[in-house]
Chains A and B, each alone.
Chain A
Amino acid sequence: MMELFDAPADQAPSPESSRVPPRKRRLWIFRASGILTLWIPLLLVALGGFFFLSTGYGYRAITRSYLNSHTMNEPLALLDADGNPLPPPSAKALAKTVPVRGPYIVIDRVHNRLRLYEDGKQILDAVVSAGAGSILEDPSGKRKWVFDTPTGRFFVKSKRENPTWTAPDWEYIESGEPMPRNYSDRVQEGMLGEYALDLGGGPTGYMIHGTLYTRLLGRNVSHGCIRVGRDDLRIIWKKAPVGTPVFMY
């Protein structure tokens, strides 16, 4: 603008001379308009980013010294739902419940595995077939079955050699066959392999038993029972007496 005032009076200002020189026009970012339109938003973005990075969750590794300094020390009292103190569990009850000695069976129904332990040591890892988890409804709509292997703790209640299978109603509904009139017509031989270990539970009870469908071991195909291959079943039969705890998860 100074150039405009320095021009002689008789000379009319030309349109070119009224323009701002390029060198000075570049500096607009340092003037008020530049600060408002560029620097303040940039500063706000930077502050926002700084705030974003500094906020949220910080993490630290759990080392041995961290464990020592953050472990609770005051004794933990057993309380009931109303906050009243409870007596400590009896050692005898614990000895009966916790299988410290002897055999126990663990069944992973998701991955179709059966593991047999003796005195806390694994002695068998077998591929089995657990429940398919499928749903069957009676066409009349009155009854419904979910073919899940149950979860929780069970016990071997009884053991049977050359067991027979009494087909329940769902077997006939699933296959679309007519329901037999006589009970004896439901009894089938050879379906459960050489041995069956009864676990109880459910209306008809669950079993660990053999199978004709050895090709399907490792798949979820059963109606809730645990199907085991012949050689593994022989080991289970030998090592798991009546009363053996069976954990299914």
Chain B
Amino acid sequence: MRRHPAFFLLLIPFALSVFAAGPSEPPFQAPVFPGRTGPEQARLALSNTFYLEISLGARELRICHSGVAIATYPLKSVTVGYPRLLWVPRHHLGEWIDDIWRDAHLDPAKVVQRLRIVPGDTSTTPTPEKPGVVPPTLSELTAVPQDYAIRCEDDRAVFLHLEGQVPGAVLQETADHPRWQDFLAALGFRESESIRVRATLSAEDGAAFFRSFPDGHPELLVLP
């Protein structure tokens, strides 16, 4: 189909406007999520939820959101535990690293002791002139145990031991000795973990992680 030359003249202003405007958007820099869990990391980055990462190689525990590690907690040591009977592993752990563990939650659960304000009672209220009674911080309202676990789906767990004196409020443990619990689990009297990662953190980092643990059962990426 032949077009009249005037038609091409009409196209000139359009072409000029395209050249004058330049590219409509600046070239974007797409983040790269390599490795086997890359697609899951990309999905989590877009999910607008918190998620956790444990990097076994870098020895770090991280709280992440939108592809950003917003808090990082260094691990002093990391080991992996396997259930055994007469020193023989009850099952072969196989390949378990570079995977996503779902439904992560704290054991014991985090409890914030909230204060109730008495309406009209201004005797403790601070003003710019007088200090009043300074309310406790969230560190003082959230008790942290010396040992706790992040439990996930399929009986997978990360056991965390805090080295040193826990800052702020401390949760006194009343449960049986862990060794005794493991013994009962091996005999089938208690639930046992299929994979147990055991890590040690400083008391400051471990307590900070416990108190900042995101609500809503986040997902945990176990990275090599």
Q: Which of chain A's residues has its CB closest to B122's CB?
A: A175
**Cβ–Cβ contact B208 & A110, under 8 A:** yes
Instruction: Decide yes or no: A92 and B28 within 8 Å by CB, A61-B79, A132-B135, A139-B119 being known contacts.
Output: yes
Residues of chain A within 8 A of B78, CB atoms compared: 61-62
**Cβ–Cβ contact B42 & A89, under 8 A:** yes
**Cβ–Cβ contact B42 & A134, under 8 A:** no
Instruction: Decide yes or no: A58 and B114 within 8 Å by CB, A106-B70, A109-B138, A176-B121 being known contacts.
Output: no
Could you say which of A6-14, A96-104, A157-165, A180-188 contacts chain B?
A96-104
| Residues of B27-47 contacting chain A, CB below 8 A | 28-31, 36-37, 39-40, 42-43, 45-46
**Cβ–Cβ contact A152 & B48, under 8 A:** yes
Instruction: Decide yes or no: A110 and B66 within 8 Å by CB, A55-B186, A146-B114, A176-B122 being known contacts.
Output: no
**Bound-complex Cα distance A46 to B186 (A):** 19
Q: Which of chain B's residues has its CB closest to A117's CB?
A: B68
Query: How many residues of B are in contact with the other chain, CB < 8 A?
Result: 78
**Cβ–Cβ contact A72 & B81, under 8 A:** no
Residues of chain B within 8 A of A139, CB atoms compared: 119
**Bound-complex Cα distance A153 to B67 (A):** 12
**Cβ–Cβ contact A220 & B121, under 8 A:** no
Map CB proximity to A onto B187-208 as digits: 1 under 8 Å, 0 otherwise.
1000000001010000000001
**Cβ–Cβ contact B68 & A216, under 8 A:** no
Q: Which of chain A's residues has its CB closest to B196's CB?
A: A57
Query: How many residues of A are in contact with the other chain, CB < 8 A?
Result: 71
Q: How far is the CB of A115 from chain B (nearest CB, A)?
A: 9
**Cβ–Cβ contact B99 & A72, under 8 A:** yes
Q: Is A173 an interface residue (CB 8 A)?
A: yes
Q: Is B3 an interface residue (CB 8 A)?
A: no
**Cβ–Cβ contact B65 & A247, under 8 A:** yes
Residues of chain A within 8 A of B39, CB atoms compared: 76-78, 88-89
**Bound-complex Cα distance A199 to B208 (A):** 25
| Residues of B74-126 contacting chain A, CB below 8 A | 77-87, 89, 93-100, 112, 114-117, 119-122, 125-126
Map CB proximity to A onto B172-195 as digits: 1 under 8 Å, 0 otherwise.
000000010011011100000000
Residues of chain B within 8 A of A219, CB atoms compared: 134-135, 137
Q: Is B141 an interface residue (CB 8 A)?
A: yes
Q: Is B153 an interface residue (CB 8 A)?
A: no
Q: How far is the CB of B140 from chain A (nearest CB, A)?
A: 9
**Bound-complex Cα distance A173 to B136 (A):** 22
Residues of chain B within 8 A of A1, CB atoms compared: none
**Bound-complex Cα distance A78 to B219 (A):** 14
Residues of chain A within 8 A of B142, CB atoms compared: 110
**Cβ–Cβ contact B30 & A94, under 8 A:** yes
**Bound-complex Cα distance A249 to B66 (A):** 13
24 chain-A/chain-B pairs, Cβ below 8 angstroms: A58-B81, A58-B84, A61-B79, A72-B95, A76-B36, A89-B39, A94-B30, A94-B46, A95-B29, A99-B67, A109-B138, A110-B138, A133-B138, A133-B141, A134-B114, A134-B116, A134-B135, A138-B119, A153-B65, A175-B125, A176-B119, A213-B126, A216-B126, A220-B138
Closest 9 CB pairs between A and B?
Answer: A176-B120, A56-B182, A98-B67, A95-B28, A91-B30, A57-B81, A55-B186, A89-B42, A59-B79
Query: A residues within 8 Å of B by Cβ?
Result: 51-52, 54-62, 64, 66-67, 70-78, 86, 88-89, 91-101, 104, 106, 108-112, 130, 132-139, 146, 151-153, 173-176, 212-213, 215-216, 219-221, 245, 247, 249
